[in-house]
């Protein structure tokens, strides 16, 4: 099921009470996310009821059909947001598309960066950054790695 939310209203996104939130920043012209299709997809299945996941499409010129097409290609059950005025970009400053943020229910960023490091290792995942961060959060532990370097498309921040 795809639900589109109004853009650029991050702090008051209709998040179910008390749930942490994951935003993944994507552009339809950037295929790098396909490197994380399985890892992120399995997180959606495993934590979908406990974590509020959303895609943030960062380029408002992206075609809506392409956004829906991309989500279908990824095979993810996830809602999406269009970041019309780059409000979410300016709030969270992801470096590349495919970067994610993990937010506490109070909206504090506890992890930022790549889903995992598979693009650096021919698909082999040595660091499950986002999954580890989610686990650490639920276990009440300090987050192991708080910033994971991502391989993705450079985001065009408008001045």
Tell me how many residues contact another protein (CB under 8 A): 26
Q: Find out whether 106 and 81 touch, Cβ atoms under 8 Å.
A: no
String marking each residue 85-124 x if it binds another protein according to CB under 8 A:
-----------xx--------------------xxxxxx-
Q: Which of 13, 15, 41, 66 binds another protein (CB under 8 A)?
A: 66
Q: How many angstroms separate the most distant Cα atoms in the chain?
A: 41
DSSP E strands in 78-154: the ranges are 79-82, 96-97, 100-103, 109-113, 147-148, 153-154
**Residue 42 found at the interface with another protein (CB under 8 A):** no
Angle between helices 37-47 and 64-74 in degrees, nearest 10: 80
Interacting residues with another protein (CB under 8 A): 27, 29-32, 34-35, 59, 63, 66, 69, 73, 96-97, 118-123, 151-156
């Amino acid at each position: 099921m795809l639900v589109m939310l109004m853009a650029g209203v991050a702090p008051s996104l209709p998040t179910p009470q008390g749930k942490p939130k994951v935003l993944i920043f994507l552009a339809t012209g950037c295929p790098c996310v396909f490197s994380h299709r399985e890892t992120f997809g399995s997180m959606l299945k495993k934590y979908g009821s406990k974590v509020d996941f959303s895609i943030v499409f960062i380029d408002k010129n992206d075609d809506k059909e392409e956004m829906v097409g991309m989500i279908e290609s990824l095979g993810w059950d996830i809602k999406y947001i269009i970041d019309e005025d780059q409000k979410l970009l300016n709030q969270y400053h992801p470096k590349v598309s495919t970067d994610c943020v993990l937010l506490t229910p109070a909206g504090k960023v506890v992890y930022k960066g790549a889903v995992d490091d598979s693009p650096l290792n021919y698909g082999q995942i040595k660091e499950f950054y986002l999954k580890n961060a989610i686990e650490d959060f639920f276990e009440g532990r300090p987050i192991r790695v708080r910033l994971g370097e991502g391989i993705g498309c450079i985001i065009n921040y408008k001045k």
